[in-house]
Copies of this chain bind each other. A is one copy, B any other.
């Protein structure tokens, strides 16, 4: 309850300007109901006095804050940093503040965080993916807060979703690789259940190869989705018999680690084995051989998502689900043409 002694309150500005606090409130919020002359005087005075309107009080009075709470699995992967970066421009422009959480691929952590965030009366919530704890989904649907799901798509989003079709992306890569004549594919990923999007891509890949009567081998590594994990996964996959002829990694991080492992094992890429990743990270721009990958529009996805979200916050309900394009980017780590 202690009122900070140095704090300038709206009342102080009102007194100094010789008006009521409502005029100050209206003037500073840019709301109608004050003459331009008065508004200018108040604005100047407020700046001089170093008045900073309390968001706590304002949000409490309006029963909603300008916070947009964003949950991503991790920030170690630049992918989510890029999506967030894309969103921020639009959100900041709309006067919204962002809170970021990293769930470390845990639904329970995401659910607990949602519970905490609701207490802030946020303007909106942004979740990564479309697979959430059932409790969390129920809570959100009853809370009436706009929810945006990013990075994945579903026909039944909570409110809005903007993402990519991971299964289709995996299938596209699968068809591409199968078309190049690969017949002993292996997927290198982390423990199942951690990253649902990666599982969908793997499933898509498996589907595509299944059309050729080929089964997908899987090599799981218990660890974070890192360079090192790809390195380990590749080493293990290479030790298998028969040796895979192409490795599809969870993402480009793992793929790069895997590429290093293949070369360290004395294998020629793509001569002896193919390597493919996912995302189109910028490490690709400096590699002597570009990684075969699928390019995802992270920044653009963020921008689009934020635009839709701002509209939703303002009461517009646009199309509920938007799928962004994924571009297959054949590189030099897989064959260029069908091998006879």
Which residues in A have some Cβ–Cβ distance to B below 8 Å? 1-4, 6, 50, 52-57, 59-63, 65, 74-76, 78, 81-82, 84-85, 88, 97-100, 102, 115-116, 118-121, 139, 142-144, 226-228, 230-231, 256-257, 260-261, 263-264, 282-283, 285-288
A255 to chain B, nearest CB (A): 11
- Chain B residues within an 8 Å CB radius of A76: 78, 81-82, 85
In whole angstroms, how far apart are the Cα atoms of A118 and B51 in the complex?
Answer: 11
Determine if B60 and A119 form an interchain contact, defined as CB atoms under 8 angstroms apart. no
A231-B78 Cα distance, complex, nearest whole Å: 19
Check B286–A52 contact: CB distance below 8 A.
no
Which of B78, B97, B144 contacts A116, CB < 8 Å? B97
How far is the CB of A190 from the nearest CB of chain B, in Å?
A: 15
Known contacts A55-B119, A261-B286, then 14 further A-B pairs from the complex at CB < 8 Å, ordered by chain A residue: A6-B144, A52-B115, A52-B118, A54-B60, A56-B120, A56-B121, A74-B81, A75-B84, A97-B99, A97-B116, A228-B285, A230-B286, A260-B286, A260-B288
Contact with A1, one of B52, B61, B65, B119 (Cβ below 8 angstroms): B61
The 5 closest A-B pairs by CB, nearest first: A75-B81, A55-B119, A56-B60, A257-B286, A260-B286
Residues of B contacting A62 in the complex (Cβ-Cβ under 8 angstroms): 1
Contacts of A2 in B (CB 8 A): 63
List B contacts of A115 (CB < 8 A).
Answer: 52
> What's the least CB distance linking A249 to chain B, in Å?
12
Complex CA–CA separation, A231 to B284 (angstroms): 12
Q: Mostly helix, strand, loop or mixed at chain A's interface?
A: helix
Is B257 touching A227 in the complex (CB atoms < 8 A)? no
* Shortest distance from the beta carbon of A277 to any chain B beta carbon, whole Å: 13
A–B Cβ pairs within 8 angstroms, 26 of them: A1-B63, A2-B63, A3-B63, A4-B63, A6-B142, A6-B143, A50-B139, A52-B118, A53-B119, A54-B121, A55-B120, A56-B65, A74-B81, A75-B78, A76-B78, A76-B81, A76-B82, A78-B78, A81-B81, A85-B102, A100-B100, A226-B282, A227-B282, A228-B286, A231-B285, A264-B288
Q: Chain B residues with Cβ under 8 A from A3's Cβ?
A: 63
Within the complex, the shortest CB–CB distance from A47 to chain B, in Å, comes to: 11
A61 cross-chain contacts in B, Cβ below 8 A: 1
The residue from B60, B119, B231 contacting A286, defined by CB atoms under 8 A apart: B231
A82 contacts across to B, CB distance below 8 A: 76
Query: How distant is the Cα of A231 from the Cα of B98 in the complex, in angstroms?
Result: 33
Q: Which residue of B lies closest to A228 (CB)?
A: B285
Most buried by B among A62, A115, A120: A120
Closest B residue to A254 by CB, please name it: B286
Q: How far is the CA of A62 from the CA of B60 in the complex (A)?
A: 14
- In the bound complex, residues from chain B placing their C-beta under 8 Å from that of A120 are 55-56
Assembly CA distance A2 to B60 (angstroms)? 10
Minimum CB–CB distance from A45 to chain B (whole Å) comes to 17
